[in-house]
Amino acid sequence: MTMPNERTRAVIQTGEFLLELSRDSSLPERIRRDAKSLLRHYPNPFQMLLAGRIEEASDPDVSPMGPVFSSSTESSYHSPITYATDAKVPR
């Protein structure tokens, strides 16, 4: 199962890869142009980490599956979401 921090890291690394492709003059123009076009609407690392922070702070009743993204790309991150049915959520 992919964890939110792993998913966040993958999205950020994919953006970095697209950026590399868009700048690599050894590649065909079409590949560079397509990579640049995809990057126009691709989230930057700050936006990804902010999305994770917003999801982590969301109400579990509204988002019962927990966060999709994380405010960290570190593997030591532990989600503040508790999955026990009787757990109290701090407000």
pLDDT digits (tens, 9 = 90+) for 10-31: 999 999 999 999 999 999 999 9
Average pLDDT over residues 66-76: 85
Q: Is the pLDDT of residue 2 over 70?
A: yes
Which residue stretches of 2-63 are H helix?
4-23, 29-39, 45-56
pTM of the predicted model as reported, rounded to 2 decimal places: 0.75
3-state secondary structure of 4: helix
Average pLDDT over residues 44-63: 90
Question: How many helices and strands, by DSSP H and E, does the chain display?
Answer: 3, 0
Q: Is the pLDDT of residue 90 over 80?
A: no
